[in-house]
Amino acid sequence: MDFKNQKAIYLQIAERIMDQILSGQYPEGGKLPSVREYAAEVEVNVNTVARSFEWLQNQDVVVTRRGLGNFVNDGARQIVLGLRKREFFDEQVPEFFRTMKTLGVTLNEIVSYSV
């Protein structure tokens, strides 16, 4: 896995897991790999993956069942979509509009270009 400098590694791993949930690789109710297995897969420290899983639990995306492991929570897909949309509107949209303003691009140009 190639990590970017601008975001904490544990958040990048959490994003990867969310991508895997959205793609159906980990369906709702499905079991996730153990922290150790996932750490080996992405070649990072076990504690980093544990932090990713903890963050996902705090977002209600993942649930831990004592003695059984980590599972994708029911409704996780919708939660992930909501998280991604919030990130999109908070981070990418403002930058997009700043660039539009700098370049003098209008909404009409965007609409005609994208069609």
What confidence tens digit (pLDDT) does each residue in 25-56 have? 999 999 999 999 999 999 999 999 999 999 99
Residue-level pLDDT at 93: 96
DSSP output for 55-92: HHHHTTSEEEETTTEEEEPTTHHHHHHHHHHHHIIIII
| 95 pLDDT tier (thresholds 50, 70, 90) | very high
Q: How far apart are CA 89 and CA 100, in angstroms?
A: 15
Residue-level pLDDT at 3: 79
What are the residues whose beta carbons fall under 8 Å from the beta carbon of 44, sequence distance 6 or more?
1, 9, 13
Cut 0.85: pTM above it: no
Domains annotated for the chain, with CATH where assigned, are 9-114 (1.10.10.10)
Angle between helices 35-42 and 9-22 (to 10 degrees): 100
